């Protein structure tokens, strides 16, 4: 199926706000994506980071799992959770590229300081260079490599990073390659939104037929590129909001679908979705659960009461330890935990929400439930059987059974405080 919306987003200072230790805009985006878009849209992360630094960031921040990951400034494309590499892309990049010549020539430039070994990749050689010297060095280097018969692309980002890539590489070219691939398969995305903040994101905005958002905190070099190259383009905005909040703003601005994150809604009953779906029910429940335990829940007693009332007496929850409890017992325990995480770092989010219908009004919803408590981060791969209450999904949902298993490496040490 063609994606309703494909978001292609940079990570550092775009999806991820390094100045927000609470990660609020990222968590707002996550809730919006999993409730409204995960089932029929595509999430693509496009980062300058190598696979090693990318995986490190995923451990530090509450990031979702993307469908496609583009790393090392558009030189490495991988698919799915297993990160299957696109070998066709590698072959294209091998043309007119000789890494040894690049390292040989660059070693003559004293203005260039080599970045960490992890950031040197088969089709990317990266340095640091002083802002005041960047332009001159870029010019000289490009003349020098041209004389050696190489066709390279030199990109300056974040007022400090200088990347040398094959001419056909870069975030923009990688996106063009993906779009072409989808088109050939007969499934071009209905809408594509690109999101970025710095120099290596500029070329994303020059791909035809995409919407673009430069987040509010965008770097000077990107704003300057825009002023010189794309000023009159109504499909590109400079957001009023920072980072992921700017992405949500753009979804609204360009009318690409719902821009109302369940996290922004105090009363869940009022939260509207494009298509009522059981995935939304899961997002809503865990948001309620977070607020309840943080002691921040408004109008939540009635939500809990209705959940308790609609819980089938025979419904059970199987915990990661193998212990089984009835759903009613679990809701009862939760009742007594109001505010037990108050004043502490406590956040909950869900990832990879996937609903499969197993009857006319029943779904199996599989998802990862993440819980950050203090400095400990745990995750359960969860399957919930969920029923539509009335004749249609719009009458609400009732949870039937829940089964959880620890995600390897993310087990909770003391699982007595793990409630759902």
Residues forming contacts to ligand GLC in the complex (CB under 6 A) are 48-49, 53, 73, 115, 119, 126, 157, 161, 163, 200
- Residue that has been written with the tokens 């109504």 in this structure: 234
Per-residue x/- track, 172-211, Mg ion (CB under 5 A) = -------------------------xx-------------
Q: How far is the CB of 237 from ligand GLC (least distance, A)?
A: 23
Near Mg ion by CB under 5 A, which window of 4-12, 114-122, 339-347, 399-407?
4-12
Shorter beta-carbon distance to ligand GLC: residue 48 or 278: 48
Nearer to ligand GLC, 11 or 26 (CB): 11
Which position has the token pair 């909001």? 241
The CA distance from 274 to 258, in Å, is: 6
- What is the closest distance, in whole angstroms, from the C-beta atom of residue 197 to Mg ion in the complex? 4
Q: Which residues contact 186 (CB under 8 A, 6 or more apart)?
A: 2
| Tally of helices (H runs) and strands (E runs) in the chain | 11, 18
Q: Establish if 161 lies at the interface with Mg ion (CB under 5 A).
A: no
Would you count residue 49 as binding Mg ion (CB under 5 A)? no
Map residues 255-274 to x or -, x wherever contact with Mg ion holds by CB under 5 A: --------------------
Coil, strand, or helix at residue 367?
strand
Nearest distance, CB of residue 71 and ligand GLC, angstroms: 9
Stretch that binds Mg ion, among 2-10, 23-31, 232-240, 361-369 (CB under 5 A): 2-10
Please say which residue, 10 or 17, places its beta carbon nearer to Mg ion: 10
Nearer to ligand GLC, 36 or 46 (CB): 46
Binds Mg ion by CB under 5 A, chosen from 4, 8, 10, 93:
10
CB nearer to Mg ion: give 57 or 300.
57
Q: 10 touches which of ligand GLC, Mg ion, none (CB within 5 to 8 A by kind)?
A: Mg ion
Q: Which does 105 bind (CB under 5 to 8 A by kind): ligand GLC, Mg ion, none?
A: none
Q: What minimum distance in Å lies between the beta carbon of 125 and ligand GLC?
A: 9
Cα distance between residue 214 and residue 138, in whole Å:
24
- Total Cβ atoms within 10 A of residue 375: 6
Q: CB-wise, 63 or 73, nearer to ligand GLC?
A: 73
Token pair in block for residue 381:
């791969």
Calpha distance 22→33 (Å, rounded): 19
Q: Is 294 in the site for Mg ion (CB under 5 A)?
A: no
Of 12-20, 263-271, 306-314, 394-402, the segment contacting Mg ion by CB under 5 A is 12-20
Indicate if the alpha-carbon torsion angle 276, 279, 281, 283 is positive or negative: negative
- Shortest gap between Cβ of 208 and ligand GLC (angstroms)? 23
User: Cβ distance 75 to 43 under 8 Å?
Assistant: no
Order the strands of the 152-157 sheet from edge to edge.
113-114, 125-128, 161-166, 152-157
Nearest to 62 by CA among 110, 26, 34, 90: 26
Q: Which two tokens stand for residue 50?
A: 């190598």
Q: How many CB atoms lie within 10 A of CB 268?
A: 19
Q: Which residues contact 46 (CB under 8 A, 6 or more apart)?
A: 8, 9, 10, 11, 70, 74, 171, 174, 175, 201, 204
Q: Are strands 5-9 and 42-46 parallel, antiparallel or unpaired?
A: parallel
CB of 246 to Mg ion, least distance (A): 12
Helical axes 278-294 vs 300-310, angle rounded to 10°: 130
Classify strands 161-166 and 125-128 as parallel, antiparallel or unpaired: antiparallel
In the complex, minimum distance from the CB of residue 337 to ligand GLC, in angstroms, rounded to a whole number: 41
Three-class SS state of 391: coil
Q: Which two tokens stand for residue 188?
A: 């071009």
Residue of closest CB approach to ligand GLC: 48
How many residues form the binding site for Mg ion (CB under 5 A)?
5
Q: From ligand GLC, Mg ion, none, which one binds at residue 115 (CB under 5 to 8 Å depending on kind)?
A: ligand GLC
Distance CA 214, CA 209 (A): 16
Least Å distance, CB 118 to ligand GLC, is 8
Binding footprint of Mg ion on the chain (CB under 5 A): 10, 12-13, 197-198
């Amino acid at each position: 199926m063609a994606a309703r919306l494909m978001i292609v987003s940079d990570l550092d200072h775009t999806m991820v706000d390094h100045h927000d230790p609470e990660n609020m805009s990222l968590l707002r985006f996550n809730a919006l994506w999993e409730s409204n878009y995960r089932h029929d849209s595509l999430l693509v992360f496009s980062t300058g980071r190598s696979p090693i630094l990318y995986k490190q960031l995923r451990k530090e921040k509450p990031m979702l799992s993307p469908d496609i990951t583009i790393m090392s400034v558009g030189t490495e494309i991988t698919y799915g959770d297993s990160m299957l590499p696109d070998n066709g892309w590698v072959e294209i990049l091998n043309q007119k590229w000789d890494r040894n010549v690049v390292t040989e020539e660059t070693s003559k430039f004293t203005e260039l300081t080599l970045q960490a070994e992890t950031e040197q990749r088969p089709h990317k050689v990266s340095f640091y260079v002083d802002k005041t010297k960047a332009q001159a060095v870029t010019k000289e280097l490009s003349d020098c490599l041209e004389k050696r018969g190489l066709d390279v692309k030199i990109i300056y980002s974040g007022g400090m990073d200088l990347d040398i890539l094959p001419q056909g590489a870069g975030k923009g070219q990688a996106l063009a390659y993906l779009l072409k691939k989808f088109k050939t398969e007969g499934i071009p995305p209905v809408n594509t939104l690109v999101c970025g903040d710095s120099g290596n994101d500029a070329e994303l905005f020059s791909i035809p037929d995409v919407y673009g958002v430069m987040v509010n905190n965008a770097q000077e070099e990107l704003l300057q590129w825009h002023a010189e190259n794309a000023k009159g383009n109504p499909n590109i905005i400079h957001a009023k909001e920072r980072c992921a909040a700017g992405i949500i703003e753009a979804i609204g601005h360009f009318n690409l679908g719902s821009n109302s994150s369940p996290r922004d809604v105090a009363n869940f009953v009022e939260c509207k979705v494009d298509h009522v779906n059981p995935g939304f029910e899961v997002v809503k429940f865990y948001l309620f659960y977070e607020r309840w335990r943080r002691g921040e829940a408004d109008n939540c007693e009635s939500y809990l009461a209705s959940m308790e009332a609609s819980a089938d007496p025979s419904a059970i929850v199987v915990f990661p330890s193998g212990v089984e409890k009835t759903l009613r017992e679990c809701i009862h325990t939760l009742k007594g935990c109001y505010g037990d995480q108050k004043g502490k770092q406590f956040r909950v989010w869900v990832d990879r929400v996937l609903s499969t219908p197993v009857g006319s009004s029943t779904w199996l919803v599989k998802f990862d439930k993440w819980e950050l408590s203090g400095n400990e981060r745990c995750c359960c791969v969860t399957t919930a059987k969920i029923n539509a209450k009335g004749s249609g999904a719009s009458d609400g949902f009732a949870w039937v059974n829940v089964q959880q298993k620890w995600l390897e490496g993310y087990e909770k040490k003391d699982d007595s405080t793990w409630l759902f």
